[in-house]
Amino acid sequence: MRNKLHREFLERQHYQRLKRLAADIKKHSHPADEVRPVIFFKASTDTLYMSLNSAFHLISAWALRLQGVPVIHFTCQSGMSRCVLGTNREDLSTLPPCDACTARISRQYHGAEVYSFRYQEASEIKTTVQELDLDSLMTFEYQSLPLGKLVLPSM
């Protein structure tokens, strides 16, 4: 119990520091005219702590903003029925840890331009793929988008 409270205290301090840094970044960032934005999508979960990947992602975005480059973050807000990075390998039927992940994501992007996506089931696709064998899934396309080639390597 004591360790948990201490960890929560340290985590709260960490995110307060991040919030102050993000406010400084926003204050000193001035997007240059006619500079196209850089889009970031962080493909890692932060279910326990900020990962090294998340730290590099955030620092890279801040560096670009300080150079006058507009930055747009796309984030997941429970946007997938199954999350490759939040999968419980011992029990694949376990739902992803969306609450913990999205709470941390929302704190990391204080003062930034953020667009989130949420899960919307595509029943037409679901019905179609349920009948396919593995070879057909690997070559599955929907509206000229090679979903099989994009999705199956992550499974």
Q: Give the number of other CB atoms < 10 A from CB of residue 83.
A: 19
pTM of the model: 0.71
Across the chain, what does the average pLDDT equal?
A: 84
**Phi and psi torsions of 32, nearest 5°:** -75, 150
Q: Nearest 5°: phi and psi at 56? A: -65, -40
Residue 68's pLDDT is what?
95
Condensed to tens digits (0 to 9), the pLDDT of residues 24-36 reads 999 999 988 899 9
List, for residues 90-149, the tens digit of each pLDDT value: 887 888 777 877 777 777 888 889 988 888 888 888 888 888 998 999 899 989 989 888
Q: Are 22 and 110 in contact (CB under 8 A)?
A: yes
State whether residue 32 is helix, strand or coil. Answer: coil
Q: What is the dihedral of CA 105, 108, 110, 114, to 10 degrees?
A: -50
Give the bridge partners for 142, in sequence order: 145
The string over 29-54, giving b where at least 16 C-beta atoms fall within 10 Å of a residue's C-beta and e elsewhere, is beeeeeeeeeebebeebbbeebbeeb
Evaluate whether 142 touches 125 at the Cβ level (below 8 Å).
yes
Identify whether the C-beta of residue 35 lies closer than 8 Å to the C-beta of residue 68.
yes
